[in-house]
């Protein structure tokens, strides 16, 4: 008797790129905001007025060696994971893959170097950065090893896991927005100036845990799209 394999519905498959597009857009918006707010202070040697932004200004190399290659990776990874693009433009896929894998490694490494000692959300954020940043780098390393062994299917599966974690940055911002909305409601309409540190740390755990779980769920529910 053949075991029935659960598969993702066609509607879900169609909606996945939309969800990815929304999360990538969120990341781009917040990255652009960081550049807009930070670089006048970085260039002038001045200190911003809030502690949240001060970390980026005080440690621009660490911060932007995480942000810049991370944005490049998140922009290119959906294209790399597209079966149509891979089959129709295989040479471009291979060349672009080397660039994006390098960007992802740099972004992941500097996520640890910046995010752990300078975590706005304190110990919860630092711990989440260690756990999920290490998982992200491990996925990339295993993906690289798989493709070196010419195991394309395993390579693709590890890259999907890595991307699922990486794109969780966008979901962190959604959770922070939800927490700020709740806080604003409870405080009678007063808008917080910066994210609450405790809620920021919780948002890291919620978002990244969700994305690791979603990555595994997708690998199980859509095997035809992940091989």
How many angstroms separate the CA atoms of 13 and 121, rounded? 35
Tell me the two tokens of residue 148.
Answer: 């070196």
The reported pLDDT for the residue numbered 223 is 57
Which alpha helices (DSSP H) does 59-196 contain, by range?
60-80, 83-88, 90-115, 122-148, 152-166, 168-186
How many angstroms separate the CA atoms of 81 and 211, rounded? 16
What is the DSSP code (8-state) at residue 8? -
Angle formed by the axes of helices 122-148 and 152-166, nearest 10°: 160
The reported pLDDT for the residue numbered 3 is 39
Quote the distance between the C-alpha of residue 194 and its chain's center. Answer: 21
How many angstroms separate the CA atoms of 223 and 227, rounded? 6
How much is the pTM? 0.89
The reported pLDDT for the residue numbered 86 is 87
Q: Specify the residue for token string 């390579």.
A: 155
Exposed / middle / buried, residue 150 (Cβ in 10 Å: 0-12, 13-18, 19+): exposed
Asked whether the CA dihedral 96, 102, 105, 110 is positive or negative, the reply is negative
Quote the distance between the C-alpha of residue 45 and its chain's center. Answer: 30
Neighbours of 208 (CB within 10 A): 24
The reported pLDDT for the residue numbered 1 is 38
The reported pLDDT for the residue numbered 4 is 46
The reported pLDDT for the residue numbered 106 is 98
Terminus-to-terminus CA distance in the chain, angstroms? Answer: 24
How many angstroms separate the CA atoms of 218 and 61, rounded? 35
Neighbours of 92 (CB within 10 A): 13
- What is the mean pLDDT, run by run of 10 residues, along the chain of 227 residues? 50 80 96 95 90 92 97 95 88 94 98 95 96 98 96 94 97 93 74 73 96 93 59
The reported pLDDT for the residue numbered 194 is 62
Distances (CA, A) of 129 to 137, 145, 169, 202: 11, 24, 11, 12
């Amino acid at each position: 008797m053949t075991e029935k394999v659960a598969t993702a519905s066609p509607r879900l498959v169609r909606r996945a790129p939309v969800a990815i597009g929304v999360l990538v857009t969120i990341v781009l918006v917040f990255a652009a905001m960081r550049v807009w707010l930070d670089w006048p202070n970085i260039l002038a040697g001045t200190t911003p007025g809030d502690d949240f932004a001060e970390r980026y200004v005080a440690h621009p190399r660490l911060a932007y060696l995480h942000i810049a290659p991370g944005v490049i990776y998140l922009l290119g990874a959906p294209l790399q994971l597209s079966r149509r693009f891979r089959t129709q433009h295989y040479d471009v896929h291979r060349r672009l893959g080397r660039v994006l894998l390098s960007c992802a490694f740099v972004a992941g490494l500097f996520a640890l170097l910046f995010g752990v000692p300078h975590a706005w959300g304190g110990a919860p954020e630092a711990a989440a950065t260690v756990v999920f940043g290490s998982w992200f780098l491990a996925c990339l390393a295993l993906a690289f090893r798989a493709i070196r062994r010419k195991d394309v299917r395993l390579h693709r599966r590890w890259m999907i896991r890595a991307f699922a974690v990486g794109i969780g940055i966008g979901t962190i911002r959604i959770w922070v927005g939800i927490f700020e909305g709740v806080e604003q409601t409870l405080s009678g309409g007063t808008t917080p100036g910066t994210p609450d540190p405790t809620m920021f740390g919780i948002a890291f755990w919620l978002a990244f845990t969700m994305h690791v779980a979603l990555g595994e769920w997708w690998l199980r529910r859509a095997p035809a799209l992940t091989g």
